[in-house]
């Protein structure tokens, strides 16, 4: 096992990695920007090192500064968390060039599967179903021709990205030019790459994903499924495990995810994402080559510490579990607590948290870097906490989450806690009738 690693991220995921490593006896260096000097991961780290200014381009996305921080502190490996450089093949390659273990897939794997258009080709080769889609689109004319071929509505996606950035649903030819240009600009800004591709848009699908873990030699284990259908502008807001699929469909999706990951000799934690239509047909969407924000729900129902499994594998100790070791017990729900005002179109609410009280009790887990007196910087994602509830059944998990949210006190900034309470009280949600259009169709505010 490593003696020391560098955590190249911030917020709750930096703290999550720190905790997992510390339980394995690994010392942690937390790399931080000037805006995060007083963050909880920095305060709890064995060592902390400033890597640049608040703007992520000069700090959390600055490969040279992060590598220098790892080398000067004597770290043996780098954990990228999620976001920032977590799916950056160049960063993974540079780590290897400087004799640092990148805790994640090989650089060439990130390159191959990280490009969404190429990921679709790999899925087809592995026998995994995909929605009708294009190769990277050369220009607007090519986009218009392909949209006519597969029929509207269609969805434009950034080839290099994720997290909902660079995505636009296009209902008719009239909307295509504006959507194409805007999506390209958003993709260029977010990922430095304006390349776009197009897929047939499925009306009101479920968003289901499979957690996989591979040893890099073709051996892959799945840890079952999650439902991530409740989204706003393609950003997930609430996730649960297992999803509300029948056993046959669940098994088929998991089998396809394992086949895809095995075909590319995937190493580490990854997630294969699917859209499932009203008839239960499923289609591969993309693969994320990192730990996911929503990984705690999988941990809660399987009992597997995914971050520790990442560390063990990266240190050369192999897979921490076999397929026969994995079973689902109970139901887990995660809500993302963002510093946003849901009554003002989810406007970001940066500022100082004057008081905070997190919930507790049976089956409740809180992942957060926030404490009373902490100042939420305006430079990054608005996620400040994840509350996870586990119970033997879904309805019991809903009741437990409702109780936990009502115990939660966060003062000084607006949060999405009231929004999540409304979701839990929604009759459609309670009976599992959720799709990616749930918020638009089923929520009144």
Per residue in 258-280, pLDDT (tens digit) is 999 999 999 999 999 999 998 89
CA pair distance 168, 228, nearest whole angstrom: 19
CB atoms under 10 Å from CB of 139, counted, come to 10
196-200 and 235-241 strand pairing: unpaired
Instruction: Taking residues 249-259, report their average pLDDT.
Output: 98
* pLDDT for the residue 135: 86
CB 29 within 8 A of CB 45: yes
CB 288 within 8 A of CB 162: yes
* pLDDT for the residue 294: 98
Give, in degrees to the nearest 5, the angle at Cα 126 between 123 and 132. 40
* pLDDT for the residue 233: 86
CB 187 within 8 A of CB 163: no
Give, in degrees to the nearest 5, the angle at Cα 115 between 113 and 118. 70
390-429 residue pLDDT tens: 999 999 999 999 999 999 999 999 999 999 999 999 999 9
Instruction: Taking residues 86-114, report their average pLDDT.
Output: 97
* pLDDT for the residue 131: 87
CB atoms under 10 Å from CB of 162, counted, come to 24
Instruction: Taking residues 235-254, report their average pLDDT.
Output: 96
362-396 residue pLDDT tens: 999 999 999 999 999 999 999 999 999 999 999 99
Exposure string for 229-261, b = 16+ CB within 10 A, e = fewer: bbbbebbbbbbbbbbbbeeebbeebbebbbebb
168-170 and 196-200 strand pairing: unpaired
- Picking from 68-72, 297-301, 327-331, 440-444, which range would have the lowest pLDDT averaged per residue? 440-444
* pLDDT for the residue 218: 94
Instruction: Taking residues 81-85, report their average pLDDT.
Output: 96
At residue 415, the 3 state secondary structure works out as: coil
111-159 residue pLDDT tens: 999 888 899 899 999 999 998 889 889 899 999 999 999 999 999 999 8
* pLDDT for the residue 117: 80
pTM for the model stands at: 0.90
Crossing angle between the packed helical segments 116-125 and 247-263, to the nearest 10 degrees: 110
Residue 280 CA, chain-centre distance (Å), reads 24
Asked whether the predicted pLDDT for residue 90 surpasses 90, the reply is: yes
Cα-based torsion angle of the residue sequence 401, 404, 406, 412 in order, rounded to the nearest 10 degrees: -120
Average pLDDT along the chain: 96
Residue 6: pLDDT band with limits 50, 70, 90: very high
Instruction: Taking residues 345-357, report their average pLDDT.
Output: 96
With a CB cutoff of 8 Å and minimum separation 6, the contacts of 342 are: 414, 416, 418, 419, 445
47-52 and 77-79 strand pairing: unpaired
* pLDDT for the residue 234: 84
The 168-170 sheet, strands edge to edge? 168-170, 154-158, 196-200
* pLDDT for the residue 203: 86
* pLDDT for the residue 164: 76
* pLDDT for the residue 192: 86
Domains in the chain: ranges and CATH = 4-103 (3.40.50.20), 132-200 (3.30.1490.20), 206-442 (3.30.470.20)
Q: Which residues are catalytic?
A: 290
Asked whether the predicted pLDDT for residue 445 surpasses 60, the reply is: no
Asked whether the predicted pLDDT for residue 337 surpasses 70, the reply is: yes
């Amino acid at each position: 096992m490593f003696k020391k690693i560098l955590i190249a991220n911030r917020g709750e995921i930096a703290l999550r990695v720190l905790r997992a490593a510390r339980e394995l006896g690994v010392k942690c260096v937390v790399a931080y920007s000037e805006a995060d000097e007083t963050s909880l991961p920095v305060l709890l780290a064995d060592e902390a090192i400033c890597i640049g200014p608040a703007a992520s381009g000069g700090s959390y996305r600055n490969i040279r500064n992060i590598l220098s921080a790892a080398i000067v502190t004597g770290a043996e490996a780098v954990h990228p968390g999620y976001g920032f450089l977590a799916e950056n093949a160049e960063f993974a390659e540079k780590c290897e060039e400087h004799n640092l273990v990148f805790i994640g897939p090989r650089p060439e794997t990130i390159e191959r599967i990280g490009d969404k258009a190429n990921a679709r080709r790999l899925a087809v080769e592995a026998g995994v179903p995909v929605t009708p889609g294009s190769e990277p689109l050369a220009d607007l004319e090519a986009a218009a021709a392909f949209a006519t071929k597969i029929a509207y509505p269609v969805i434009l996606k950034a080839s290099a990205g994720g997290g909902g950035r660079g995505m636009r649903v296009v209902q008719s030819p009239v909307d295509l030019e504006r959507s194409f240009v805007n999506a390209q600009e958003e993709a260029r800004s977010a990922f430095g790459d304006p390349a776009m591709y197009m897929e047939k848009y499925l009306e009101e699908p479920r968003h289901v994903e499979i957690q996989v873990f591979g040893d890099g030699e073709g051996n892959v284990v799945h840890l079952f499924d999650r439902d991530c259908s409740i989204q706003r502008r393609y950003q997930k807001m609430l996730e649960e495990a297992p999803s509300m699929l029948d056993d046959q469909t669940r098994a088929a999706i998991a089998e396809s995810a394992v086949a895809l990951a095995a075909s590319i000799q995937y190493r580490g934690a990854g997630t294969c994402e699917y859209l499932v239509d009203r008839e239960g047909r499923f289609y591969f969407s993309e693969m994320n080559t990192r730990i996911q924000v929503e990984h705690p729900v999988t941990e809660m129902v399987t009992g597997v510490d995914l971050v520790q499994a990442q560390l063990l594998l990266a240190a050369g100790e192999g897979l921490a579990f076999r397929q026969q070791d994995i079973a689902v017990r109970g139901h887990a729900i995660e809500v993302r607590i963002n510093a946003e005002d849901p009554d003002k179109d989810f406007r970001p609410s940066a500022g100082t948290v004057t008081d905070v009280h997190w919930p507790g009790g049976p089956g409740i887990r809180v992942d957060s870097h926030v404490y009373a007196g902490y100042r939420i910087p305006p430079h990054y994602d608005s996620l400040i906490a994840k509350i996870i509830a586990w119970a033997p059944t879904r309805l019991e998990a809903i009741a437990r989450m409702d109780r936990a949210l009502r115990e939660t006190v966060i003062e000084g900034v607006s949060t999405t806690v009231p929004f999540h309470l409304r979701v839990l009280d929604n009759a459609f949600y309670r009976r599992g009738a959720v799709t990616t259009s749930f918020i638009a169709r089923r929520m009144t505010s």
